[in-house]
Chains A and B, each alone.
Chain A
């Protein structure tokens, strides 16, 4: 073979070719879009500077005008309460449903039925469920609790049942062969094996529910810090107050995370 023959380093690969072409096209479209936007009177540099200013005002000069610090604390507690209550309801109901859903503990037909219903519930966002229940219960905390619990159940059933399915079938077989009943197997083998996963998932859901509970205050009138945020932004146009509330929420989110970690570490040591 001649030294100057063109030998490709890599043989032609259709999928990498397609990926490369797609990326190229996206770059071209982005450039085209940026060049042909109708910017009206907006000057990009000006806009970026102003956004920075607003964020700066919000985060550097936070204040509370329409409520005291104590009141804000009370409101955050309400939001956490909403998150806690819905997670607790969700966890208890989901645990029982998960036992009926896990393939190693249940009949295939029952498992499949619950799995499909739960998948449908999960596909619809939490906020939408709250608004659906608001038709019957009216906008407010009742609709928020029911709607959030509903979605928490569907999320946790999937998480729990998959944790339970991690357990080897042999362990269940061994206990069945010694004459143990279903409930005994659940409490003596299944739960001890999967409790740390179950608690982990519950905390993940608690964090999600905290974020949703903030949004519910604004969107569904469920009260709590979310409602104050809604008022500050939509009625008082007070960006500094929003900054204050953002810090409150951030502080509590960090606190929850630390608490979750602490509990998980305790469990890892004892379990």
Chain B
């Protein structure tokens, strides 16, 4: 399998003091499902946003599909972003618009400014949006306003909006952090399917270690802006998890153990 994304010595500095990422190196192969785990504030979100340059890395090199991301100009960056879909913890939909209008927003990057401003979508684009909503089980909700949907449904609209871009890669920033266990499972199954059936590479930021272990081909553990683990889920031993989550991990497992016993 070909390498789709590669981080080479990437660092991100905020001001002169805070270092969000320092010397990050890892690669993602085409069609892989990679989870990034780590404690809050470890730099997971920053790392994800460096890929489509929602945040600009301070140094190093990021290669996506054989192009150096940091060297792209404004137009090339726009083109890059159309090929990377992104979904968010808080869904980030336009609540006052209908489901299908929100999904079609994923096509804006491909359109001329005027066509986008006026919301002129082609027949094929609308058909594609409808088809994706069907795949995600939202065919009943197509013309509903987004603020009438549940969290899980909103996240599926978010996924449809990303997929309608026809992306090579899907970036997911804490996609299930605001969802109940059932909706979380539905969303993770969909992401898994998107990866295995559509062949789209998926990179997910996750809080839940067990979910990451269940669904990923590979796990990248981040702590204080550095990669401390990069390997298969099976290789995540207790020692490795302690390296990712620090001393807190022991407390966490003790509490959980206690709860299960109780």
Contacts and interface: CB of A to CB of B under 8 A. Distances in A.
Given A170-B88, A187-B116, A177 B54 contact: yes
B94 A184 contact: no
Contacts of B60: none
A267 to B, nearest CB: 11
B106 interface: yes
Interface in A163-211: 168, 170-171, 173-181, 183-184, 186-189, 192-193
Given A188-B108, A188-B116, A171 B94 contact: yes
Nearest to A177: B86
A136 interface: no
Given A179-B81, A180-B109, A183-B117, A174 B95 contact: no
A174 B81 CA distance: 11
Contact of B162 (A176, A178, A180): A178
Contacts of A170: 88, 90, 92
Interface residues of B, number: 34
Indicate the member of A171, A174, A176, A271 with the most B CB atoms within 10 Å: A174
Given A178-B106, A180-B105, A188 B81 contact: no
A189 B54 contact: no
| A contact face: mostly helix, strand, loop, or mixed | helix
A184 B85 CA distance: 17
A88 B77 CA distance: 38
Contacts of A184: 108, 111, 113, 116-117
A177 B111 CA distance: 15
Interface in B212-232: none
Contact of B105 (A168, A173, A175, A193): A175
Contact of A179 (B82, B88, B90, B92): B82
B126 to A, nearest CB: 15
Contacts of A168: 90, 92
Given A188-B108, A192-B94, A193-B94, A173 B54 contact: yes
A176 B106 CA distance: 10
A187 to B, nearest CB: 4
A94 B201 CA distance: 45
Interface string B112-156: 010011110000000000000000000000000000000000000
B211 interface: no
B108 A171 contact: no
Interface of A: 168, 170-171, 173-181, 183-184, 186-189, 192-193, 271
Q: 10 closest pairs, A vs B, by CB?
A: A179-B109, A184-B116, A180-B108, A170-B92, A179-B81, A174-B92, A179-B82, A177-B86, A187-B117, A179-B78
